[in-house]
Amino acid sequence: MTNWRLIISPPSDAVTNMAIDEAILRTYVYTTGGIPTLRIYSWHPAAVSLGSSQSPDQVLNLSQCIIHKLPFVRRITGGEAIFHDNEITYSLVCTKSDLNLSDSVKKSFRILTAFVFNAYREMGFMPCFAGDTETYQHGDSSEFCFATTEKFDIMLDGKKIGGNAQKRSKDIIFQHGSIPFTLDFPRIKTFIKEDLGGVEQRVTCLQDELKRSVSFKEVSRILIDSFKSSYAVNLKKTILTRAEQDLAHTLSEEKYKTKQWNYFKKASISTKQED
C-alpha cells in the first residue's frame, strides 16, 4: 500500500487556501522523497476563485464585490469561476505512478475522481460523468463553472454538482475540487457579471439531493473512507511541514494577495516556481 498524508485544514480565507495548495505542490516538486497528500478544507469567508486564465473585469461584478466585501483569488488551475461558500473542498498532490495515472489529463480524471464517485454512492446516489450520458451536449460557454458542462463534470440525477480542475508539473499532479453543501443563487448572481438565468435547473448541491442538511465533519469522513478504499492507500493525518508553512506564507504575501496576480496573472515571489 502507498502511504499518503491527510491534512484537514481549519476554515480559511481564499488567499490562505490557495497558498497552502500551491505550497504543498511546490514543496513536493522540489523536495526529493515527497509523500503524496490529500488535503480537505473549507472557505471562510465566502469567496470566488477564478480560473488561471480568467479576467476579473470580465467575470465579476466588481462594484458589488467591493460593496459586499467579497474577496476573489486567481487559482493555479484553469476552468471557470467558482463561488465558494458552504462547501467542502479537496486537493491532492501525487505522482502519476502513485495512482497509475494516464499521461492524458482528461483520462486521469476518471481515476482521480473515483473516490468522489464512491463517496456519492455511499450517500445513495448514482453519479456519472456528463459525457457518459446518452443525452450529453456541451453546455453553453460561460465564465461561471456551474453554468457550463464538460464531458468529465460529475452529474447527480441529470444535474452538475461541484467542479474539479488539474495542474501538472512534469510527473507531479495537482488536482482540487469542490462539493457544495448549499447554493445561494441570488447571492451568486449578485457577483457574477453574466446572466445566469436558468442555472438553478442545471446544477445541484448535497442538501438539495439528500433533502437534509450536511456537515463538514460528515462529508469529510465519507470522503476519507472512500479515498482509502478506492485506492487501497494508507492515510496518516498530519499537519503542514515547516517548509510548507513558510512557503504558504510567502505565497500569500507575495502572490495571492497581490493585484498583479489576481488581476493580471503576474507575481514576483522570492521562491523557485514554474511559469
Question: Which CATH number do you get for residue 177?
Answer: 3.30.930.10
Dump pLDDT digits (tens) for 64-77.
Answer: 999 999 999 999 99
Instruction: Read off the C-alpha cell for 20.
Output: 497552502
- Whether the pLDDT of residue 273 is over 60: the answer is no
Decide: helix, strand or coil at residue 222: helix
Per-residue pLDDT averaged across 157-186, rounded? 94
Is 86 inside any structural domain?
A: yes
145 or 137, which is more confident: 145
The count of structural domains within the chain is 1
- Whether the pLDDT of residue 35 is over 50: the answer is yes
DSSP-assigned letter for residue 60: B
Question: Whole-model pTM?
Answer: 0.93
Is 225 inside any structural domain?
A: yes
Range of the domain at 242: 2-124+162-264
Is 131 inside any structural domain?
A: no
So what's the pLDDT on residue 231? 96
Is 142 inside any structural domain?
A: no
- What distance in Å separates the CA atoms of residue 137 and residue 95, rounded to the nearest whole number? 32
134 or 59, which is more confident: 59
Angle subtended at Cα 245 by Cα 231 and Cα 76, rounded to the nearest 5 degrees? 65
**Helix intervals (H) in the chain:** 14-30, 56-59, 62-67, 105-112, 114-122, 185-191, 206-210, 216-231, 242-251, 259-264
Is 210 inside any structural domain?
A: yes
Q: What is the radius of gyration, based on Cα positions, of the chain?
A: 18
So what's the pLDDT on residue 80? 95
So what's the pLDDT on residue 203? 95
- Whether the pLDDT of residue 136 is over 60: the answer is yes
Question: What is the pLDDT of the chain when averaged over all its residues?
Answer: 92
So what's the pLDDT on residue 239? 95
Is 188 inside any structural domain?
A: yes
Is 240 inside any structural domain?
A: yes
Is 194 inside any structural domain?
A: yes
Dump pLDDT digits (tens) for 231-262.
Answer: 999 999 999 999 999 999 999 999 999 999 99
- Whether the pLDDT of residue 269 is over 80: the answer is no
